[in-house]
Amino acid sequence: MDVSVKVIGESVTMDEKEALKWLRDRMPVGDDCFVLESGKTNLLLTTDMLHQTSDFPDGITSYTIGWRAVAASLSDIAAMGGNPEAVLIAYGAPGFNMEELEEFIAGAETVCKKNGANIVGGDLDRHDELTIVTTALGKGNRPVTRKGATPGELVAVTGDLGRTGAGLEFFEKGEVDRANELFRFEPRIELGVQLAPIASSMMDISDGLARSLHQLSSVNDVGFRITGNKIPYNPSIEEIARTDEKKEELGLFTGEDYELLLTTPEENKFELAKIGATVIGEVTEEGVEMVKGRRVIPLEDEGYVH
């Protein structure tokens, strides 16, 4: 969607993806964090909105909600290779139950502490739908942005994919303990810091691998060729997905895995392995595609719009 289609007196309605694209043309948003120079340090700032209908499946605990909401913002700091310092939480809920709040804060504090951050403030509001907005402030010596990928480079991911997709399936099946555990992902702060010096571009996968590759492709005006059998799927995906299609749906097209996706020159292959990131393909001139056996298929720009 282009801003030029705007017609005076006529309403133009956009979906979330179009609206985000329009916003990116309109103001300096687009990276995982905003970078503010402050003396010798770079401050990193990011905010994320999560809410009941789209982010909290039936069976999710308050502890997991607190963890996940904070971890989503910490993940944005990780995506720029920074270290988080402070987290603010705006908490809107239909009512305030002390046990729920206590659990929520325990989850939020646990993931903060594990990553060197503190909850330093927030806002509390009565709201019909449980809505959490987390803001994280971090610092980074050399923040890595989404821009910088060049054809010929390697593309790699941290951890494994499909954790959230599998979690959603377990929530549906009523296996809530398992699902909650999968939903409490580790933001990749340490890996982000280690990868920052060698990454030419980096982001976290918040809308699924396929959409993230398309985002990097569009920012860098490059393409990607991914090798299907190099993708590290979460072990629970192997267990829950009976077909290749299901595996790809959960692992490539379901969002919110919050692993890091990065590009780096070929010479850093061994460094990547040492740090523990998996090479899944290479940067090409154009097109986002996946090698599957002997075929090369396009990887559509589809994913979870949250």
Q: Please report whether residue 291 would count as binding its own copies according to CB under 8 A.
A: no
| Nearest partner of 163 among 232, 257, 278, judged by Cα | 257
State both tokens at 262: 């990065």
Site for its own copies contains 286 (CB under 8 A): no
Say how far residue 57 (Cα) sits from the centre of its chain.
18
The rounded distance, in Å, linking the Cα atoms of 75 and 46 is 10
In the complex, what is the shortest distance from the CB of residue 73 to its own copies, in angstroms, rounded to a whole number?
10
Q: How far is the CB of 87 from its own copies (least distance, A)?
A: 10
Closer CB to its own copies, residue 108 or residue 154?
108
The residues pairing with 139 across neighbouring beta strands, listed in sequence order, are 43, 83
For residue 128, state whether it binds its own copies (rule: CB under 8 A).
Answer: yes
Q: Determine if residue 208 is left, alpha or beta; phi over 0 gives left, psi from -120 to 50 gives alpha, anything else beta.
A: left
62 binds its own copies (CB under 8 A): no
Pick between residue 89 and residue 154 the one whose CB is nearest to its own copies: 89
CA 256 to chain centre: 5
* Footprint (CB under 8 A) of its own copies, residues 16-45: 16, 18-20, 22-23, 26-29, 31, 33-34, 36, 38-41, 43, 45
Shortest spacing between CB 162 and its own copies, in angstroms: 23
Considering CB under 8 A, how many residues would be counted as binding its own copies?
67
Kindly tell me the burial class for residue 109, based on how many C-beta atoms sit within 10 Å of its own C-beta (0-12, 13-18, 19 or more). Answer: middle
Our CB check for its own copies shows the closer of 40 and 294 to be 40
How far is 58 from 53, CA to CA, in rounded Å?
Answer: 9
Q: Which of 57, 75, 78, 96 binds its own copies (CB under 8 A)?
A: 96
Is 193 a binder of its own copies (CB under 8 A)?
no
The residue among 172, 158, 246 whose CA lies nearest residue 205 is: 158
Give residues 135-154 in contact with its own copies (rule: CB under 8 A).
135, 137
Tell me if 133 contacts its own copies by CB under 8 A.
yes
Residues 262, 145 contacting (CB under 8 angstroms): no
- Of the pair 92, 265, the CB lying nearest its own copies is at 92
Identify the residue among 11, 242, 243, 245 touching its own copies (CB under 8 A): 11
Longest dimension (CA), the chain: 58
Q: How far is the CB of 204 from its own copies (least distance, A)?
A: 13
Pairing of strands 118-126, 83-93: parallel
Element holding 31 (H helix, E strand): none
| Sign, Cα dihedral of 117, 72, 188, 234 | positive
Find out whether 63 and 107 touch, Cβ atoms under 8 Å.
yes
Which of 102, 300 has the CB closer to its own copies? 102
Kindly tell me which residue out of 86, 275, 279, 291 binds its own copies, with binding defined by CB under 8 A: 86
88 binding its own copies? (CB under 8 A): yes
237 close to 250: Cβ distance less than 8 angstroms: yes
- If the CB atoms of residues 124 and 297 are measured against its own copies, the closer one turns out to be 124
Interface residues with its own copies (CB under 8 A) are 3, 6, 11-16, 18-20, 22-23, 26-29, 31, 33-34, 36, 38-41, 43, 45-49, 51, 53-54, 85-86, 88-92, 95-99, 101-102, 105, 118-129, 131, 133, 135, 137, 305-306
